[in-house]
Amino acid sequence: MDVVRLTLALLAKRHLDKADEVEASGPEGFEFGSKPSPYALFEDMPAHREQHDKGWITAIQSTFKELMKHLPEDARVSPGEATNIACRANSESHLFLDTFDRGYNEVIGVFPLSSMYFNHSCDPNCVYVGLPDGRLEIRTLYDVPKGAELSVSYVDLLQPREQRRRQLLLTRHFWCKCRRCSMPLSKSEDRFMDGILCRKCRRGVMIFEETKEVSDIDELMRDIEALNNEIQGKSAMCESCATEMPVTELVDVLKGAIEAYGSAFIALRERRNADAKAGFDEFLKKYDQKQVLHPYNSYLINAYIGLMQLGQMMDEPALSLTSGRQVVDRMSKSGALSPNSPELARYQAMLGRLYISVAKKKEEIPRQTPATKGLIRRYRIDGKGWIELAYNARYVALGQSHPLTVQLQQLSQTLLPRPPQAATPGPVAEAANSSGSNSADAAVAESSLEAAKKAKAKENKKPTIAQLQQTVKAAAAAAAAANGNNEEKQQE
């Protein structure tokens, strides 16, 4: 349905450009961001019609054969031409999340110029940002060395390598050969994404290099069949203790995990909350607590995301908080996401809000004990720290004026004595300036940002998200101690 609506919008753009005699033979002389891209640029994009599913093509042709009857006569095109436009839209469009942190895809658009200049990478240094006025902005996620290629990602980066590659082949019609996908699995963070732990040492991941390049969907299906035959008699080896395990057993474990996760996810999607919670709990008990899958396995992370969502749907903030901590911690340490990743920032912001929400619920308890008061203070401090961390990531990745950044800044103003000081626009490193406040409440934001800045200068490389998180936790502990000392002095 999104592609049909987008195709109709493109037909309208084509008609209006024709009426206004707008022409463009290429990007030369076109001023970026000044006005909508001419439709002629869209026509230069490949349609990849032959690589689309035949059933999809038939359905699209049938749809537009009927829709053309309802368009102005001078705006109509043949069903075949409309199908070509739909193929381009399907291959080159981008989805953007809503601006209220709900996690919904709210907008779809095609941006011909960006497609010409920015290639995909599963280890991107840039991000596409949809602006409220319909423009697309491309922002760097960290300091990029001079001369380095700028890249963006078209897929969920927490997916296993084979899933990403096959999704890109099916939707974008290329087999990814980026740095992350080309690196040997044993040396890549991708070994964690569908990683199975060694049964003997329970530390190392079982490694089996399986990928070979494919060029089209038919070959992909043949490759899957060939792989099933190829793994017979093969063994995977633990990266830590060199214990071997038949690949067929490895595949059976992963298939069982996917089936169990999928059952719980379907229940969640159908809003059968009790069944979904029971399913995720059982899945995590079997595959996480018993150390079958690696902690950073994408199915484990997604199961905790499911429980995080269920806690919100069932008004159980404690469940959401416990699960949210797992989500953020594992996402951060997996190495799959770039610094200042908008995806990670979204969960950091959610976690910060959950801390504040749980603190407010505990404040409603009458006759609070000193322990309860201390826990409330602890939750508020942690909430402030996560909100601040998410704000600074969004400042870099989305920009200071983006609605999602502004929302966190406004929330920070209600939680901190003064709003976090935004960095002066410029290099990404400058977006990590601290507020300079000496108050205990501001210590979380100040210490985390200053420590990240010093670490960057010392190592001359981007700080990892895990390092930033550790700094936030240490700063939060210092802030809590400072608060305790201030209370003792006031009592004296």
The helix (H) or strand (E) run that includes residue 140 is: strand 136-140
Domain of residue 99, residue span: 2-111
Could you write out the DSSP letters of every residue in 150-208?
PEE-SS-TTS-HHHHHHHHHHHT------HHHHS-GGGSTHHHHT-BB-TTTSSSBEE-
Do 154 and 122 contact (CB within 8 A), yes or no?
no
The Cα–Cα gap between 478 and 444 comes to 8
- Taking all residues of the chain, what is their mean pLDDT, rounded to a whole number? 80
* Long-range pairs of 283-292 with CB within 8 A, sequence gap ≥ 24: 283/257, 286/260, 287/257, 287/260, 291/197, 291/202, 292/196, 292/197, 292/253, 292/257
Last residue of a domain, one of 111, 131, 147: 111
Do the domain assignments include residue 344? yes
How do residues 427-442 score in pLDDT, each as one tens digit? 332 222 222 222 222 2
Residues 363 and 479 in one domain: yes
| Neighbour tally for 191: CB within 10 Å | 24
- Looking at per-residue confidence, does 90 or 267 come out higher? 267
Q: Look at residues 188, 176, 4, 185 and name the one whose alpha carbon lies nearest to residue 89.
A: 4
Residues 171 and 52 in one domain: no
User: Domain total for the chain?
Assistant: 3
pLDDT of residue 422: 41
Residues 229 and 350 in one domain: no
Residues 341 and 487 in one domain: yes
Give yes or no for residue 463 having a pLDDT over 60: no
Q: Look at residues 295, 293, 198 and name the one whose alpha carbon lies nearest to residue 244.
A: 198
Do 145 and 163 contact (CB within 8 A), yes or no?
no
By the 10 Å C-beta count (0-12 exposed, 13-18 middle, 19+ buried), 489 is classed as exposed
Residues 341 and 453 in one domain: yes
Last residue of a domain, one of 85, 111, 137: 111
Residues 99 and 210 in one domain: no
Least confident of 249-258, 356-365, 390-399, 476-485: 476-485
How do residues 173-214 score in pLDDT, each as one tens digit? 889 999 999 999 989 999 999 899 999 999 999 988 765 555
The Cα–Cα gap between 248 and 236 comes to 9
